[in-house]
Each structure stands twice: as structure tokens, then as C-alpha cells.
Amino acid sequence: MTISAETSATPDRDWWRGAVIYQIYPRSFQDSNGDGIGDLKGITARLPHVAALGADAVWISPFFPSPMKDFGYDVSNYTDVDPMFGALSDFDGLIAEAHRLGIKVMIDLVMSHSSDQHHWFIESRSSRFNPKADWYVWADAKPDGTPPNNWLSIFGGSAWAWDPTRMQYYMHNFLTSQPDLNLHNPEVQDALLDMTRFWLQRGVDGFRLDTINFYFHDKELRDNPALEPSRRNASTAPAVNPYNFQEHLYDKNRPENLEFLRRFRAVLDEFPAIAAVGEVGDSQRGLEIVGEYTSGNDKMHMCYAFEFLAPDPLTPARVVAVQDAFSLAAPDGWACWAFSNHDVVRHVTRWGHDILDRDAYAKMTSAILMTQRGSVCIYQGEELGLTEADIAYADLQDPYGIQFWPEFKGRDGCRTPMVWDSQALQAGFSTAEKTWLPIPVEHQLRAVGAQYGDPASVLEQYRRFLAFRKQHPAFTKGDILFLPEDGTVLGYERRYGNEIVLCVFNMSAAAAATELPVGEWEVLTGHGFESSLEDRRVELPAWGAFFARQA
């Protein structure tokens, strides 16, 4: 397989708009040294798969030094590589190979909190008067010794942990080993921006910003109000977590963040063609915050909220409602949509657990994702139609799942190793006798090698549709206009310049039909879906799709 990349003397500063970004979870992509854990050299070796798929960029989840309490999202050194994953020279090699293949590289920045093993926190907790005493969020106990307020951690319990050295509480929105940085302190902001420049100077093309709306807290430490049960939503935290019982006005989503994001964007703009996407973790005001963070050209290039990562079933009405809500909240903004990632149940299971033909469902949903207005994130293994793995309690690694088992089983089920060769040991992921998470047998049967070259496979459909998508600028940069609701059929037009492309989907397990809109339409092919057109009537098989261009 030969992949060639086109180069240009003038970088495309707008490359991110409509880009397809392939998310790599480093622990689970490819192990190059036989220890059962994926690494940077493994990623580099498998980049041709990403290029052959047709993705424009990779987003690599954290690979920085970390005690791995939250598997890399607890950073102990922002400017190095954890030995588990390799060395800085390995990252440089990854960048070089990605760019040779024409792939942009985005990395995950975790700036709301660090590990408690970071030297900043070690110094901060040593006394109340050291130079970094105010680099984290510290507060005195109430007179009765209880925490300063009622804020809760997403991982369960109070968002405050007692430190006996300082005789104060420190804030942690996640694990107690993930203390929150105090971005009200300009020195903290400067240190984080210097870290950003470090990676830009090494050649990264952009960033995914973890928990972007958690950066600032209310200086007055006011209690969050209770949230009435009818407004509780389980997309940010599992339904069994009382975190959903509060309206999170003061522990996150603070207006001070806007000025910091402007500072962050100014650093990005010092370099050519850099882009950033922010993760907005809020089920109550998610799209509203996305609108704030992407307004103008001085903050985030794009953001994603949890609307399509939530448990809510994917229906025509749901797709329309989410896009309409985004247009209202962020009329000048740009979204980045994903159906799966490393934090949620894989969407083929989440939405399609009771569907018999999951391959057809996976193909149909992928086409919906890749024709939405916005950029797209594909999570590793999604292109194989992987389902959520059922991990036994004894094999669990995720502290989130261990805390809330069995009602919530955590995130390990979507983080199992990538499957490359169904005939090889550990499906070609590793030569180790045991991998950090077990590989389900049903996944091994869906390995890349088993699907590659099979025109009926989910993998080949992803490749085919991504190639089809690139032939039509309306898909990458165009506007979206929804057709009137028609039962289980979802229809919309993508419009860009003189091009209008019609997209129609049957989101059901039974055949369906619909009428074409007024106008002359040229039926498009090469996308992998079959349908029939007679006069103006489109006949769609179960989980089918139809595409046409206005003649």
C-alpha cells in the first residue's frame, strides 16, 4: 500500500473545517515492545492504516508522564513522554511519519488539573507560603471541619480533599489524585501557555483540550444550587452519580475562561495552520458554552459537546434537534461531532444493542456522522464496527467503573486494544501473553486484516465513504438544510457554493420510501449504499441511504 501526500508552500489555515480526525488511545492502538501496552512507536507503525482510511488528522490521547491513576489524564510532567509510551524522539518520529503521509497531528492537553505527583503540586502542598502555594485551588475548612462548599466530583463524592500538611482542602473535579489548577493565577496561565508552545515547536498541528469548561472556578466558592429531577441528565456523569443533582454554576462554566481562551488562541496564531477543539463537558449548558467558546475568531476553532455521545437514541428528530440547537447557540461557531470516544459506550452498542444487522447500522450511522455540518471525530475501532466489550470486574482498570460497579461499568469496555490480525497472537496488537485489557473474541473476528479488501465490510465502507465525502466540498464546508420530518427517514441538503447535495437515510430496520424535493436531481454513486429511484420516489432498504446532487 503506497500513500502519497501533497505538500504546499502555503499552509491551509482552514484545514480543520470539515476535517475527519481519527482518535487514537495510545495504550490500546499498537504495542511495539511486547509489554502489553500500546506506545508511540506502535502508533507510528500503524499510521498507514489511518492514511488509507482517509482521515485528515489524528488526535492522540495523553502520552505524558503520569502515575496512570486516570490513564494519562493525570499529568505529572507536561513536556515529556511517559517511558511506558517511549521517548520524545519517538514522538518526533511519529510527527515526521504522519506529515509524510499527509496526516495532521493533534494532541490532548489536560490543563484543568494535573497529577498530585506533578512537581508543581508537590511544592504547592508543602506549605501555605511557597512560590506555588496559589497554583492550585486551596480553601479552609468550614468551622465544623467540613469541606468549603457542596461541590461534587465527577468520579464520586466531594470535590474537596483534605491535606494535613497545609491543613486545608484542595479542589479536585475528578480523582483526589487530580488536583485542580488555579487558572485565576496569571503565573499558572503563563506556565500552561509555555507548555503549549513547547509542543507547537515540536511540530504538532493542533490540540484537543480536555474538560475545557472546567478551567475556572468561582472565587467566592459559592454552593451550587440543586437541580430539579426533571432537568437531570446523565450524559456528563452516569445516572447513579449524584453529580447530576446539582446545577453547576460555580465549579465550572465560569465567564473568566473566555479571556484565557483568547490568550491561548493568540499563542496558536503565532504558528501557521494550527487548530484546537475543546471538549465541553456539561449536559445542562453544553451547546450554549460551545457557542461562547467558538464565537468570533479569537478563541476555539471548534468544540464538541456531549449531545451525540449521550445515551439518547439516534433518531431523525434527534439529529435535527441537535443541529438546530447548535445553530441557535453558535450561529458563527463550528462543531466537531463524534458518536464514540474513549469515555462512552461505543455507539454501535449504545444505540444499536437490540439491532440484528449491526454492520448495516454501523454503515448508516457513519454516513450520517460524516455528512453533518461540522468536523468529525472517528474513534479507533469504530471503522471496524466494534461493539462495547464486556469486561469482568476482576479485569477492570478504570477507577470510575470500580467506584460505581455494577450499575455503571466504567470506560474500559470502549478502551480495549485495537484488533489488526485475527490469526495473530493478541489480534496483532501485542506479542505479550497478557494485554493491559483483555481482547474480546468477537473483536478479534473483526480485525483490520479480516475486513480489508472485503467490499461488504464496515472498514471498506468507511474508506469508500470518506473518499466519496472528499469529492464533495458541500460535505466538508457547506451549510445544512433539513427536509420536513418523514417518519423514520432523515433528509437534508448540504449546500456550498453552487453545489447542493441531498442526503436521505432510512433510520429503521424496515424498508422505507420518501419523495425527492422539487428540482432536478442527479443520483450520486460511489458511496456504497444501494437504493432505487422511480419517478421521484426513493425506495430505501433497512438502514439504507441515498445521495443525489442538484443538476
Catalogue the active-site residues.
210, 270
- Distance (Å, whole) CA 301 – CA 334: 7
Across 52-200, where does the E strand assignment appear?
57-60, 104-109, 138-139, 160-163, 168-171
Which helix (H) or strand (E) segment is 461 a member of?
A: helix 458-470
What number of residues does the chain have? 551
The set of cell numbers assigned to 283 is 449536559
The SS3 call for residue 401 is helix
Q: Are 170 and 160 in contact (CB under 8 A)?
A: yes
Q: Is the peptide bond before 229 cis (omega within 30 degrees of 0)?
A: no
DSSP 242-299: GGGGB--SSSS--TTHHHHHHHHHHHHTTSTT-EEEEE---TTTHHHHHHHHHSTTSS
Q: How crowded is the C-beta side of 192, counted as CA atoms within 13 Å?
A: 24
Residue pointed to by grid coordinates 507503525 = 45
User: What is the amino acid identity at position 478?
Assistant: G
Radius of gyration of the chain (CA): 23
User: Can you say whether the dihedral through the CA atoms of 109, 115, 117, 120 is positive or negative?
Assistant: positive
Residues in a beta bridge with 514:
538
Nearest to residue 141, comparing CAs of 170, 165, 180?
Answer: 170
Please classify residue 422 by burial: count the beta carbons closer than 10 Å to its beta carbon, then call 0-12 exposed, 13-18 middle and 19+ buried.
middle
Kindly report the backbone phi and psi dihedral angles of residue 40, in degrees, each rounded to the nearest multiple of 5, phi listed first: -70, -40
Sheet (strand 521-523) strand order: 479-482, 489-496, 499-506, 545-550, 521-523
The set of cell numbers assigned to 127 is 506549605
